[in-house]
């Protein structure tokens, strides 16, 4: 399978973003905003994006810190990819533009399933199962 240069770039950016609380907060808010904008086109992936962004928000604010670095990198890379308007299939292409984004999010969910299940359990214990889209 050929290497997707957009995924490589997203992962590179993810490492830089995670080293800055301000950049991480900006990324989370941008994902919340963009996912709201594309909610109808995203279908079930909308709630997956909200879960991923919520985990990252709770990590950067210090509410939930038990996340391995590799999981943070994978999630952040996927969220960066989601925000990139020009990727493997450019987002402005109405019928197809989000297909690659959905595939990246789906793969991320599979790779981070155990950590996401732990996070979801923690949220349920906190009474925060619905989550908020804003800090």
List the domain boundaries for the chain: 5-126
The mean pLDDT of 115-129, rounded to a whole number, is 89
Q: Lowest mean pLDDT: which of 30-34, 37-41, 72-76?
A: 37-41
Residue reference for tokens 């019928």: 95
Residue owning tokens 């990727």: 87
What pTM does this model have? 0.83
Q: What is the mean pLDDT of residues 7-13?
A: 75
């Amino acid at each position: 399978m050929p290497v997707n240069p957009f995924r490589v770039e997203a992962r590179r950016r993810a490492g830089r973003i995670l080293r800055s609380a301000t950049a991480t907060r900006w990324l989370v808010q941008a994902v919340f905003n963009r996912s709201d904008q594309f909610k109808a086109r995203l279908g079930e992936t909308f709630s997956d994006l909200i879960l991923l962004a919520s985990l990252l928000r709770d990590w950067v604010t210090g509410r939930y810190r038990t996340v391995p670095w590799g999981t943070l990198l994978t999630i952040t890379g996927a969220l960066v990819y989601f925000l990139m308007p020009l990727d493997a299939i450019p987002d402005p292409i109405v019928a197809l533009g989000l297909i690659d984004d959905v595939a990246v999010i789906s793969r991320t969910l599979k790779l981070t399933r155990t950590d996401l299940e732990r996070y979801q359990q923690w949220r349920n214990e906190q009474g925060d199962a619905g989550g908020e889209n804003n800090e």
